[in-house]
């Protein structure tokens, strides 16, 4: 039985899928199985997957059912102690699995660990994100609808995932709900090291996709709020009706917010796709549309920099103290 099951779901993964698969097969940690669920791809993905000969790879095919259905299907074939998630267009650094396995081995209270990641475009790799690292800060960020974890590069304990019943079975994007529920039964953490590159390109997310993603996030947050209050859960159809019943002013504000978020994502893709000027213009437009999001983002960046500077100062003081002890001895 392998220690790690790497689970990837893919739908029309070309042309980025081969680089993603190679980054998994090239890990320095080799005790893993690689479960790939082809969710009804209609491009050349099936042909590419059929060409894979590495014995650690197992390809499962299903009719297109969405990421949650594909993930739960794949989980049925995972036998590892730990389960690593991987997106079909991303690239993991060679020591990603080794670093995360070592972390979970040393921290039995942690059920799910992520890592820092950086955007990858045709023109190169951008700077690392600054995701929070402690359980409280991660969970608070996710309950506020902010990215506390990068689902594409998490490693989690299989028994904890089974404890919460895996991913939800509603026809929505799957990650947020599962990670919040994992945080309700165990500690969450992020390794403060860049271990993953996430692909950014213009076709990765459109306005419709952003709306669907934000609805999934908000619904997951609402379910968590109801659980924490001991109230009865609602279906996603009931939640959609509640959302539809709000006033036109709030709906207008939500539409502007969604457009701003979409423009921000497109700006990142433009910048690291070699179109920096267009990307900067999109970034400015996103900031104008939603100044609240912009100021909040700037505030978090400044806070994260202060925390890192404080940690660096503490490490420097520790080294100085040790040196003084050695010198006086």
pLDDT in tens, 138-171: 999 999 999 999 999 999 999 999 999 999 988 7
Is pLDDT of 184 > 60? Answer: yes
Residues 78-99 have pLDDT tens digits of 999 999 999 999 999 999 999 9
Task: Identify the CATH number of the domain defined by range 4-204.
Answer: 3.90.550.10
pLDDT at position 308 is 64
Q: pLDDT-based confidence at 235, cuts 50/70/90?
A: very high
User: Residues of CATH 3.90.550.10 domain(s) within the chain?
Assistant: 4-204
- Tokens representing 167 are 């991913």
Token pair in block for residue 311: 């940690």
Contact yes or no for 84/103 (Cβ under 8 A)? no
Distances (CA, A) of 153 to 168, 220, 233, 253: 19, 20, 29, 32
Nearest to 39 by CA among 68, 63, 18: 63
pLDDT-derived band at 329, boundaries 50, 70, 90: very low
Q: Of 293, 134, 121, 272, nearest to 214 (Cα)?
A: 293
Looking at residues 123-133, what average pLDDT do you find?
91
325 pLDDT band, cuts 50/70/90, is very low
pTM for the model stands at 0.85
Residue-level pLDDT at 289: 80
């Amino acid at each position: 039985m392998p220690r790690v099951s790497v689970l990837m779901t893919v739908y029309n993964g070309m042309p980025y899928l081969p680089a993603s698969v190679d980054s998994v097969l090239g890990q320095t940690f080799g005790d893993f199985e690689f479960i790939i669920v082809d969710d009804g791809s209609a491009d050349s993905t099936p042909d590419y997957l059929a060409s894979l000969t590495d014995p650690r790879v197992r390809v499962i095919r299903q009719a297109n059912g969405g990421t949650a259905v594909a993930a739960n299907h794949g989980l049925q074939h995972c036998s590892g102690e730990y389960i690593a998630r991987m997106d079909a267009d991303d690239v993991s650094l060679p020591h990603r699995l080794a670093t995360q396995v070592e972390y979970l081995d040393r921290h039995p209270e942690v059920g799910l660990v992520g890592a820092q990641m950086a955007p990858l475009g045709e023109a190169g790799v951008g700077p690392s994100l600054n995701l929070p690292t402690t359980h409280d800060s991660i969970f608070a960020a996710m309950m506020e609808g902010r990215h506390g974890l990068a689902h594409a590069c998490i490693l989690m304990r299989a028994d904890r995932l089974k404890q919460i019943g895996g991913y939800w079975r509603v026809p929505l994007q799957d990650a947020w709900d599962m990670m919040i529920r994992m945080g309700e039964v165990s500690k969450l953490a992020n390794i403060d090291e860049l271990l993953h590159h996430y692909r950014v390109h213009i076709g990765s997310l459109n306005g419709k996709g952003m709306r669907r993603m934000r609805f999934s996030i908000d619904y997951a947050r609402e379910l968590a709020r109801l659980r924490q209050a001991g109230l009865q859960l609602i279906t996603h159809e009931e939640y959609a009706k509640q959302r539809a019943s709000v006033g036109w002013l709030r709906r207008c504000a939500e539409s502007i917010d969604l457009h701003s978020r979409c423009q921000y994502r497109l700006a990142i893709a433009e910048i690291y796709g070699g179109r920096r000027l267009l990307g900067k213009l999109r970034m400015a437009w996103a900031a104008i549309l939603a100044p609240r999001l912009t100021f909040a983002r700037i505030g978090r960046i400044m806070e994260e920099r202060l925390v890192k500077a404080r940690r660096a100062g503490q490490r420097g003081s520790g080294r100085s103290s040790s040196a003084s002890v050695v010198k006086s001895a």
